[in-house]
Structure 1
Amino acid sequence: MASGLVFTAITERAAGSPVSSAKSEQLYELIGNARFVDLTHAFGPGIPHWRDVGDETVTTLYDYPQSGFRIQKFCHVGQWGTHFDPPVHFIPGARTLDNIPPKDLFLPLAVIDVHARVAADPDYAVTRQDILDWETRNGPVPARAFVALRTDWSRRWADQKAMQNVDASGVSHYPGWSMEAIRYLYEVRHITANGHETTDTEPGVVVTKNDYPIERYILAHDHYQIEIMANLDQVPEKGALISVGVPKVKDGTGFPVRVIAIIP
């Protein structure tokens, strides 16, 4: 009910109809009394990250004893911690962070739960059938939704070795999306974005080959994704909303985000 009222008010505003003060207060009450789940890992030096980037550094430029305040300098790549991949991350000339409209940052949230399959097979890639099984229980994945893949891989945080799960031959073993599942979500259900708990879109065995076909597909079709999400085990399969807070970096190709699930 809360999510329906929120989107009714947004639709009315977009159509030019005024939202009454009473309705605004009701919206605030509904959202304010919801349960909020932080889907974000705190980031800092030493956290798990994609294998080919360096560590973050933090430098204190001004401190309390000398200046009466503290200012720190943070140096890290854009794809750091729980982060946002805009289309330009892979596609030259595509949308950058500052060109993602606010309406694409507040969406219905659907969670595809395959954690039991991943526990048996760390190389598991979610299938189209997994999506269809979700729809049997919950109805069609909502258009414009954000779809998150729950694998419980985030329980390995913040151990870089456990997250990458590299075998003696140098092959990584962690779960991911399949192309058939992603194409179904974007081409049939017309979702807005997707996210996952691992450092990459594809399973580790694919990433080991320096191959990123699924991520390239997502970004080439002008969508975004969020990587290294947390706490998806605390969110229902259907019925929550997601709020994505991302800095408006001019021409930005990626940046850490704060991602919140709102559960009526």
Structure 2
Amino acid sequence: MGEHFGTHFDAPIHWVTGKDHKNNTVDTIPPAHFIAGACVIDASAEVAKNPDFVLTSEYIQNWEKEHGDLEKGAWVLFRTDWHKRPFDGSFLNVGEDGLNHTPGPNKEAVEYMISKDVLGFGVETINTDAGMSFTWEMQLPCHTLMHGAGKYGLQCLANLDQLPPKGATIVAAPLKIEEGSGSPLRVFAIV
């Protein structure tokens, strides 16, 4: 099994922009980073209508007006209900254009989350970036900017619909793979 398969953790070294950070591999990340609060941003209704939904900083700020600020050191978890799709072609959702049509954040949303000093960004899809981000001026902004800021990623999460917008604690401890850029893991919440 590869490091980036199934539900998995991305360490900063997973992307070239994170290669020069201290403690950038799964075996060097402080264990205290594996337990953190969660801010769950629900865009499931929007994604049901448009699988290419883009999470914007404005959407996050509107969420904050209702639930309070993103918390420093917390995971931002993007609820889309994508985990309800079978793990087959509909999960990858590849279009005739050859691109994955999956939701994700734009550059400004990622920059906003980084400005709030979150721990990282987690999604129910195969990629922390929107599938269409390959066509954007800055391709893969979540990978590029989050890992460049020494932050983490979680992919293929499930059951975010069972979490409150705030108040849950997430345990996401990757395997201690020597110099690993990522790791499969089991993520669970304490509510």
The answer to whether the 8 Å contact 1:98/1:251 transfers is: yes
Which secondary structure state, in structure 2, belongs to the residue aligned with residue 147 of structure 1?
Answer: strand
- Structure 2 residue 82 is the aligned partner of structure 1 residue 153: yes
Answering whether residue 127 of structure 2 is matched by residue 200 of structure 1, we say: yes
CA distance in 2, matches of 1:157, 1:180: 31
User: Post-superposition shift, 1:147?
Assistant: 0.7
Q: In the aligned structure 2, how far is the partner of 1:106 from the partner of 1:169? A: 39
- The equivalent of 1:23 in structure 2 is none
The equivalent residue for 2:117 is: 190
Matches within 5 A, 1:1-264: 76-91=1-16, 92-94=19-21, 95-159=24-88, 161-187=89-115, 189-207=116-134, 211-263=139-191
1:134-174, CA deviations, whole angstroms, 9 ceiling, x for partnerless residues? 11111111111111000111111322x10121222323211
Q: Count residues in correspondence.
A: 186
Question: Whole-Å Cα distance in 1 between the matches of residues 79 and 150 of structure 2?
Answer: 23
Q: Find the aligned partners of 1:126 and 1:134 in 2 and give their Cα distance.
A: 11
* SS class of match (1:98): coil
Distance 1:81 1:207, change over 3 A: farther
Q: Give the partner amino acid of 1:253.
A: S
Deviations 1:182-219 (A, max 9, x none): 111111x2111110011112211224789323211111
- 2: CA distance, partners of 1:109 / 1:256: 20
Which structure is higher in RCO with an 8 Å CA cutoff and minimum separation 6?
2
Unaligned runs of 5+ in 1: 1-75
How many angstroms apart in 2 are the aligned matches of 1:254 and 1:243? 16
- What is the DSSP-based 3-state SS (H/G/I as helix, E as strand, rest coil) of the residue aligned with 1:81? coil
* Distance in 1 between residues matched to 2:150 and 2:166, nearest whole Å: 25
The alignment's C-alpha RMSD in Å is: 1.7
Of residues 228-237 and 163-172 in structure 1, the stretch that sits farther from structure 2 once superposed is: 163-172
SS in 2 for 1:99: coil
TM-score, length basis structure 1: 0.67
Gaps of 5+ in 2: none
How far apart, in 2, do the equivalents of 1:112 and 1:97 lie? 26
> What's the counterpart of residue 20 of structure 1?
none
Q: Distance in 1 between matches of 2:154 and 2:57?
A: 20
Q: Look up the equivalent residue of 1:86 and give its one-letter code.
A: A
- TM-score normalized by structure 2? 0.91
Equivalents in 2 of 1:140, 1:169: separation in Å?
38
Secondary structure of the residue aligned to 2:189 is strand
Q: What percentage of residue pairs aligned between the two structures are identical?
A: 37
In structure 2, the residue corresponding to 1:84 is in which secondary structure?
strand
CA distance in 1, matches of 2:185, 2:59: 28
Moved over 4 A (4+): none
Instruction: Pick the structure with greater CA Rg.
Output: 1
